[in-house]
Amino acid sequence: MKKLVSVLPVVMLLYISCSNSAKMGQSGNVVADTLKYPEETHLKNIQQLTSGGDNAEAYWSYDSKYLVFQRTNPKEGINCDQIFMGKVPKPGQPFTYKLISTGKGRTTCPFFTKDGKHIIYASTHLGSEACPATPDRAKYGNKYIWPLYDSYDIFMADLDGKIVKQLTHSKGYDAEATLSPDGKQMLYTSDKDGDIDLYIMNLETGAEKRVTNMLGYDGGAWFSPDGTKLIWRASRPKTDAEIKEYKDLLAENLVAPTNMEVWVANADGSNAHQVTSYGQANWAPAYMPDNKRIIFASNHEYKRGFPFNLYTINEDGTNLQKISRDKGFDAFPMFSPNGKKIVFCSNRNNGGTRDTNVFVADWEE
């Protein structure tokens, strides 16, 4: 559910698939597919790990050696997002990966446990083994909307794919889970109390606490590397019309995530405050290794809603810097726990197709 890959409107899909070998730049000029753009000075030794399909939300193991991600590729019979994992290869070597989820229903938001022996992820498979239906956007004026499938629950599986524990049981949407740096607490999103909020669960005892309480969608949350802070994306409907639209959609288990900003708080949810105020979609935020700066994805520079690029910003909202330059989609940035590498997902180098792939790079200040 963290995924915004498909937020790109039809015109964008045409835009990124107009050629088998090139993409159109903003001014209409043809630009070659590339792994790296000249302005991307912080990204060194970029490796493309996947090729084909829709690959997103790739996240590191605690030892910085493995990645877990979600993948859809109808050409391979993967019609609904499923969870895969693989070891990050040395340069020039292929990236091999294996299925971890059940292959049933729809899955999202995988994350390694501290011991490196398990993965948590959300899945709808208990509700149905089939892919859940997608909303008819025409009913909502072709607005981009996300379904909050009430059959989503969060599970823990071993590296052979065997589910060893069901972590959530509430009726409603439970997904978007990540873990604290010590591996003891799970931070996730749920609508079980009538709004879309963040919760922290103690993995050992199951005790939990709701940590957001403002009207609006709160999701895609992470702990800072030192475990003292939280960071997430949030919508905050304010006008009567915005509030009505939000509540009406929520009543149908839907949300429109097109206006989001980055928020931070202390690890217990106190001192919650907004960092960005750019409008449009500012999302997929994460603290950088110094626990002070933030990296996130945004389309705020473009009134038409694309491209999405990566940006960094200070915790106090100053010093915005543009990091990536793809003309389509760059998002889901996550630094390796050792602080040396970054993983992200992008439309770059896809041969003019709609494919989104996983990339890793060395980070250079």
Q: What is the pLDDT of residue 144?
A: 87
Angle, alpha carbons 264-288-121 (nearest 5°): 75
Q: What is the pLDDT of residue 33?
A: 79
Arithmetic mean of pLDDT, 107-119: 98
- Give the model confidence (pLDDT) of 159-177 as tens digits: 999 999 999 999 999 999 9
- Give the model confidence (pLDDT) of 203-248 as tens digits: 999 999 999 999 999 999 999 999 999 999 999 999 999 999 999 9
pLDDT-based confidence at 123, cuts 50/70/90? very high
Arithmetic mean of pLDDT, 109-137: 96
Q: What domains sit in the chain, N to C, each tagged with a CATH number?
A: 5-363 (2.120.10.30)
| Helix extents (H) in the chain | 10-15, 240-251
Q: What is the pLDDT of residue 32?
A: 56
Tokens of 294: 């933030």
pTM: predicted TM-score of the whole model, two decimal places: 0.91
pLDDT-based confidence at 15, cuts 50/70/90? very low
Tokens of 89: 């290869």
Q: What b/e string do you get for 109-138 counting C-beta neighbours within 10 Å, with b at 16 or more?
A: bbbbbbeeebbbbbbbbebeeeeeeebeee
21 or 90, higher pLDDT: 90
State the Cα–Cα distance between residues 53 and 76, nearest whole angstrom.
9
Q: What is the pLDDT of residue 141?
A: 87
Q: What is the pLDDT of residue 28?
A: 37
Q: Is the pLDDT of residue 306 over 90?
A: no
Closest CA to 253 of 360, 129, 132, 82: 132
- Give the model confidence (pLDDT) of 145-160 as tens digits: 999 999 999 999 999 9
Angle, alpha carbons 56-198-335 (nearest 5°): 40
325 or 6, higher pLDDT: 325
Q: Is the pLDDT of residue 84 over 60?
A: yes
Residue 356 CB contacts under 8 Å (≥ 6 apart), including other chains: 5, 53, 54, 55, 56, 329, 345, 346, 347, 350
Q: Is the pLDDT of residue 12 over 80?
A: no
Q: Is the pLDDT of residue 45 over 50?
A: yes
For residue 324, the SS3 value is coil
